[in-house]
């Protein structure tokens, strides 16, 4: 592997995902364009008495194709099921033949915002009911949030760089950005990167609801997540995972890989403002966007599409609009800016991953996906937020931004591949 940072180009050659809208990228994309919404009443457990009773659940999911044996499935948490399956899907989609690869040069960054919350909850009940001697010896490896990354590498003998990012809802974009940088500096030729989350459990639902962060539109689940809409009242929890295969360009060309797009830039900043609230002026987000543009070496007016973080919270969506207006100036009016969380719910640590998959498909199709339930745009939002219906348009350059509790901002820029 070479080491000239500036000359190494990084492309996306594989997409894998699990969400309420499907368990592969093509199905998710078709459902997004068709205006389908994955939000409904919670069925994983008895939701009676909870303030928020709706979520974008993954239903009827069988993780076993991604695992070496059913026993391995039983020894892992649901968030690991999602992450390993999405990685397996990305591997299949990429066409990589691992028998022919140097596995020392293939790494994995699959992050999670929260990790094995279901295991934490179940094992704590066992501790209280039956005592410490009955707690599972698999509890710790089941709940620690690096396990999806570690096990996916183990199952495929991938010995390159490996860790799990954890930055709340910015997790996936940090994973993909750090994977990009890892390939750029010559430490790997291929990276699997993204995020996974499984927090639709009693503890997760009650904890976020206690923060008054979630929508309580329980009587109308399909219309509850409404990014940029005047009547938005909080985010809707989603679950699932998304993993992308990032690859050094020459490596991809040599094996004749299909290339979805080229990753050009990555920005990473902190608001240093508040534990959970974004900077009201969006200045931290704006600096992350500017950093990504600087890395990409492109002018702001070359960006065509923004997949916005907009989660459908009253404060957060407008902070993001202000950040975009600050960076793009008059060009902001030319952008298509959509939030696909109206369809997928907010997948927390997996959000940037599924949204990066959607960006790749948007470039491929030359279509900006819609923002569902945007019926009455917030008067403070003057941007084209692609209300309810996809827009066919030229998309050469896309921007995907994610912001997390703790003030984390992570921004990715990609471009339609040019040989």
**pLDDT < 50 regions, the chain:** 1-3
Cβ contact 414:12 at 8 Å: yes
pLDDT at 412: 98
pLDDT at 90: 98
Assess whether 295 carries a catalytic annotation. Answer: no
pLDDT at 418: 87
pLDDT at 316: 84
Domains delineated in the chain: 9-254 (3.40.47.10), 265-415 (3.40.47.10)
Assess whether 309 carries a catalytic annotation. Answer: yes
3-state helix, strand, coil in the chain (%, to 5): 40, 20, 40
pLDDT at 83: 98
Measure CA 190 to chain center: 19
pLDDT at 4: 60
Catalytic residue among 81, 174, 251, 346: 346
Residue with tokens 């010896």: 137
Catalytic residue among 81, 251, 295, 309: 309
**Strand boundaries in 150-299, DSSP class E:** 190-197, 240-248, 261-270
Cβ contact 371:402 at 8 Å: no
Assess whether 166 carries a catalytic annotation. Answer: no
pLDDT at 283: 82
Helix axes 314-328, 283-296, angle to 10 degrees: 40
Output the DSSP codes for 404-416. ETTTEEEEEEEE-
Residue 310 corresponds to which tokens in the numbers above? 């907009």
> 18-57, pLDDT tens digit by residue?
999 999 999 999 999 999 999 999 999 999 999 999 999 9
Residue 54 corresponds to which tokens in the numbers above? 């709706």
């Amino acid at each position: 592997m070479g080491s000239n940072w500036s000359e190494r180009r990084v492309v996306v050659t594989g997409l894998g995902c699990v969400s309420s809208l499907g368990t592969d990228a093509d199905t998710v994309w078709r459902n997004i364009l068709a205006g389908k919404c994955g939000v409904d009443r919670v069925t994983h457990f008895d939701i009676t008495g909870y303030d928020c009773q709706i979520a974008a659940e993954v239903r009827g999911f069988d993780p076993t194709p991604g695992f070496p044996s059913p026993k391995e499935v039983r020894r892992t948490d649901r968030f690991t099921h999602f992450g390993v399956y999405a990685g397996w899907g990305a591997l299949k989609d990429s066409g990589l033949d691992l028998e022919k690869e140097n596995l020392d040069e293939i790494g994995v960054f699959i992050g999670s915002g929260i990790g094995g919350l279901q295991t934490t909850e179940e094992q704590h009940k066992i501790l209280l009911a039956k005592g410490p001697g009955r707690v599972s010896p698999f509890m710790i490896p089941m709940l620690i949030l690096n396990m999806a990354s570690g096990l996916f590498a183990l199952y495929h003998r991938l010995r390159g760089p490996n860790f799990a990012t954890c930055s709340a809802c910015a997790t996936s974009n940090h994973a993909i950005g750090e994977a990009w940088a890892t390939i750029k500096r010559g430490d790997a030729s291929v990276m699997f990167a993204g995020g996974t989350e499984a927090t639709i459990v009693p503890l997760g639902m009650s904890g976020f609801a206690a923060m008054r962060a979630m929508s309580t539109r329980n009587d109308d689940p399909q219309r509850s997540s409404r990014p940029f809409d005047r009547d938005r009242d909080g985010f809707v929890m989603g679950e699932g995972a998304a993993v992308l295969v990032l690859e050094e360009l020459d490596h991809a060309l040599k094996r004749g890989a299909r290339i979805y797009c080229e990753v050009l830039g990555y920005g990473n900043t902190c608001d240093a403002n508040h534990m959970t609230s974004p900077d009201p002026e969006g200045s931290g987000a704006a600096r992350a966007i500017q950093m990504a543009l600087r890395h990409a070496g492109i002018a702001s007016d070359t960006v065509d599409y923004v997949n916005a973080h907009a989660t459908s919270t009253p404060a957060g969506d407008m902070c993001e609009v202000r950040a975009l207006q600050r960076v793009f100036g008059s060009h902001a009016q030319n952008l298509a800016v959509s939030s696909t969380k109206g369809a997928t719910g907010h997948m927390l640590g997996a959000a940037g991953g599924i949204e990066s998959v959607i960006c790749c498909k948007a470039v491929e199709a030359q279509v900006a996906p819609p923002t569902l339930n945007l019926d009455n745009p917030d008067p403070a939002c003057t941007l084209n937020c692609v209300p309810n219906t996809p827009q066919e348009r030229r998309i050469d350059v896309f921007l995907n931004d994610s912001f997390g509790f703790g003030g984390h901002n992570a921004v990715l820029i990609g471009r339609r591949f040019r040989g």
